[in-house]
DNA sequence: TTTCTAACA
DNA sequence: TGTTAGCA
């Protein structure tokens, strides 16, 4: 298998002049923008669905893609009947080693690759880390949010069907 | 203004 | 699931 996840992601992720991953607003402003409470947004983070930026002082900061991620979570809850735990488990099934092209040895010893309950970014944060990669910029974390609608079509398309 | 917890709809 | 209140 040799899927071009980076290009796929480039086509789906929100575009714009601004860096989509740069922290731009605090949680209070984000709450107003999304019409949710700041507690609800913190709950998403506590569950493991989103990794917010933190300021030096420890306050959460959100980027454009975080807002898009919140929109997707809302869609999955309201339209698809999932709950927060369900979304987490769905994302836990992403084959992260395919995205990261881990070698056999790395894959064998990786706790995230064996865990079907929690996404790799949750597992590896409480464990060691993924070769020092920032999960926020990782394709697994980012792709996960966008794949839920058409992961199958991606796979079919890449197999030339 | 932010953090977190807990009660409650 | 999400809001609100109370607190530091």
- Assigned CATH for A5-158: 1.10.1660.10
pLDDT in tens, A3-59: 566 666 676 666 665 678 899 999 999 999 999 999 999 999 999 999 999 999 999
Q: Is the CB of A36 under 7 A from strand C?
A: yes
Q: What share of chain A is helix, strand, coil (3-state, %, to 5)?
A: 55, 5, 40
Whether pTM > 0.85 for this model: the answer is yes
Continuous segment of H or E residues that includes residue A96: helix A96-100
A115 Cβ nearer than 7 Å to chain C strand: no
Residue A153 beta carbon within 7 A of nucleic strand B? no
Residues 46-105 on chain A lying near strand B, CB distance under 7 A: 58-60
Give A26's DSSP letter: E
Q: Is the CB of A153 under 7 A from strand C?
A: no
Query: Would you place residue A62 in the very low, low, confident or very high pLDDT band (cuts 50, 70, 90)?
Result: very high
Query: Hunting for tokens 């890449």 — which residue is that?
Result: A158
Separation of alpha carbons A24 and A161, rounded Å: 41
Q: Which nucleotides of B are covered by protein (CB under 7 A)?
A: 1-6
Q: What is the pLDDT of residue A60?
A: 96
Residues A145 and A69: beta-carbon distance below 8 Å: yes
Distance A154 CA to B5 C1' (A): 43
Q: State phi, psi for A156 to the nearest 5 degrees.
A: -60, -45
Strand C contacted by A72 CB (< 7 A): no
Nearest nucleotide to A60 (CA to C1') is B2
User: Is residue A108 within a helix (H) or strand (E), and if so which, with residue range?
Assistant: helix A104-109
In tens, the pLDDT along A104-158 reads 999 998 999 999 999 999 998 877 668 778 899 888 899 888 877 666 665 665 5
Assess contact for A28 and A38: CB atoms under 8 A: yes
The angle that helices A64-78 and A27-34 make with each other, rounded to 10 degrees, is: 40
């Amino acid at each position: 298998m040799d899927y071009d996840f980076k290009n796929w992601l480039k086509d789906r992720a929100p575009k714009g002049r601004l860096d989509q991953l740069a922290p731009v607003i605090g949680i209070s402003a984000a709450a107003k923008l999304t019409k949710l409470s700041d507690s609800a947004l913190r709950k998403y983070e506590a569950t493991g669905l989103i990794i917010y930026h933190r300021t030096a002082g420890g306050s959460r900061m959100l980027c454009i893609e975080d807002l898009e991620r919140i929109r997707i979570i809302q869609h999955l809850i309201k339209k698809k009947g999932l709950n927060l735990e369900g979304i987490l488990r769905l994302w836990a099934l992403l084959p992260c080693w395919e995205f990261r092209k881990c070698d056999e040895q790395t894959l064998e010893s990786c706790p995230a690759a064996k865990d079907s309950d929690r996404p790799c970014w949750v597992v590896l944060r409480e464990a060691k880390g993924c070769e020092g990669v920032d999960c926020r910029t990782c394709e697994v974390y980012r792709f996960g949010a966008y794949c839920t609608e058409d992961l199958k079509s991606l796979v079919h398309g890449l197999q030339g069907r």
